[in-house]
Structure 1
Amino acid sequence: MSAETATGALEAHPVPLQRPLGAAEARVLGTLMEKARTVPDSYPLTLNMVVAGCNQRTSREPVMQLSEAEVQQALDALRALDLVAEAGGARVPHYAHNLQRALRIPEQSAVLLGLLMLRGPQTAAELRQNGERWYRFADVSSVEAFLEELQDRAAERGGPLVLKLPRAPGAREARWMHRLCGEPDVPVAGAALAAGSGAASGASAALTERVAALEAEVAGLRTQVARLMSELGLSPD
């Protein structure tokens, strides 16, 4: 089956996310997606392994410190959403993610969502670099194409799953963030620029006022020096 046919099959019956995920649920889901691709020999994961993966200090933004109870609660909630499944046949429960099948999205899109859940907002170039162990994208344009597809996802297919953020002042590229945790609180670019412009104008006005005060003080000193020289009978030269 070709990549196009496989993608089409996944999108034939898209399933919307039932509700926004919590921060702990997104971290647990992203961790399972990462370990499935980077350490397949240890996957599915036990509860202890999920906890350790969630609380890593590398490749995580923000760094979290989830308890075993919090991770178990998140796993149970994700199972109810059909985003996580418990693997059978073992004395100790093992867990595997089910995001790609649940949301009917291709592998590349699932990889990008997983990376965004674990590392926070990133540019397309950062996603390609950070995801080398997950999936090797041909180029940045390929990453952008899948991101745009996720952003343009129609309401009847579950709605957009990512959002392109306004480019920050001085930044060369815009960053992307996932929307699995609900509608993100993103400041309007114009408002941010206006705030920055207002601050710059205020600083400029204060500087102008200070220079004027210094010039007035210098002029006064010159007048005093000229008077003293006149009283002493000295020439200005």
Structure 2
Amino acid sequence: MRTVFFGGPQEGATPPVDYLIPTPLSAAELRVLGCLIEKSFFTPDIYPLTLNSLVTACNQKTSREPVVSYDDLTVEAVLATLQGRGLTAKITGADHRVPKFKELLMEKSGLKVSEIAVLCVMMLRGPQTVNELKDRANRIHAFASQAEVEETLDRLIGREPQPLAVRLPRAPGQKEARYMHLLAGPVEVEEAAIAPAPAPAREDRLGRLEAEVAGLKEQLRRIEEEWKEFRKQFE
């Protein structure tokens, strides 16, 4: 039997919000958006990011689960999709020799930095315990205690009308429960055998396939544009 976790209101839930984040987001969209959020805190001196810097951030071998290998075309395609959904923006002009990209989620959602911190880490690394979130989100927001992390998670879980996180059951052999974002849609967990962590190989393959599909869509779009330009010569 499979349980689907949608999240939902809890006692003391936060007041309803006006902005609804356009979901579900694909694995590739989560990676690109998460990297933009992360780097806005980690490297503010070079933010917004160039395409090259963003590709490097997506393909990091540390602080990423799963590790991926996106190319420029793939990330461009994902950025185009995110921009269409109002979650990123392309910055051009005389002050920029090359286009740069920034995220718009923080501004539009009105989320607190503490909430963005745990969301970002879950976007880049998947389900995690309170302890893991406290340690890994430290460079974005320095949580004073585990209790503060739990309070932050409770706000995300109780966010109405769009919960953004959910508490997962403890996996066999695990002492602590894990938490996961809901930006990719409802979280499905096998009741019979809840894995303690995402299967890296399967998640990696899925991420690569989604990235390849996004890249193929971008290639098709460019071919269509070139064909239209070619036809204009004979009209």
In the superposition, the TM-score normalised over structure 2's length comes to 0.72
1:192 aligned residue = 193
Give the gaps of 5 or more residues in structure 1: 1-9, 194-237
| 30, 34, 52: which one aligns with 2:34 | 30
Matching of residues 177-188 of structure 1 within 5 Å: 177-188=180-191
* Counterpart residue identity of residue 66, structure 2: P
1:123 pairs with 2:123: no
Partners of 2:23 and 2:142 lie apart in 1 by: 31
Q: Deviations over 1:62-90 (max 9, x none)?
A: 10111211111111111112211222331
| 151, 173, 176: which one aligns with 1:170 | 173
Two-structure CA RMSD over aligned residues (Å): 1.8
Once the two structures are TM-superposed, the CA of residue 13 in structure 1 deviates from its matched residue by: 4.7
| 9, 16, 19: which one aligns with 1:15 | 19
Q: Secondary structure at the match of 1:111?
A: helix
1:56 pairs with 2:57: no
Q: Deviations over 1:72-121 (max 9, x none)?
A: 11111111122112223313111111111222211111111111011111
Partners of 2:15 and 2:144 lie apart in 1 by: 22
Larger fraction in helix: 1
Partners of 1:85 and 1:95 within 8 A in 2: yes
Q: Secondary structure at the match of 1:192?
A: coil
1:203 aligned residue = none
Partners of 2:50 and 2:101 within 8 A in 1: yes
Q: Secondary structure at the match of 2:169?
A: coil
In the superposition, the TM-score normalised over structure 1's length comes to 0.71
Give the gaps of 5 or more residues in structure 2: 1-13, 195-235
Partners of 2:92 and 2:145 lie apart in 1 by: 39
Segments ≥4 residues shifted beyond 4 Å: 10-13
Larger fraction in strand: 2
Partners of 2:92 and 2:98 within 8 A in 1: no
Partners of 2:140 and 2:18 lie apart in 1 by: 23
Once the two structures are TM-superposed, the CA of residue 12 in structure 1 deviates from its matched residue by: 7.2
Radius of gyration: which is bigger? Answer: 1
1:161 aligned residue = 164
Q: Deviations over 1:145-197 (max 9, x none)?
A: 11111111222xxx211111110122111111111111122122xx338xxxx
1:221 aligned residue = none
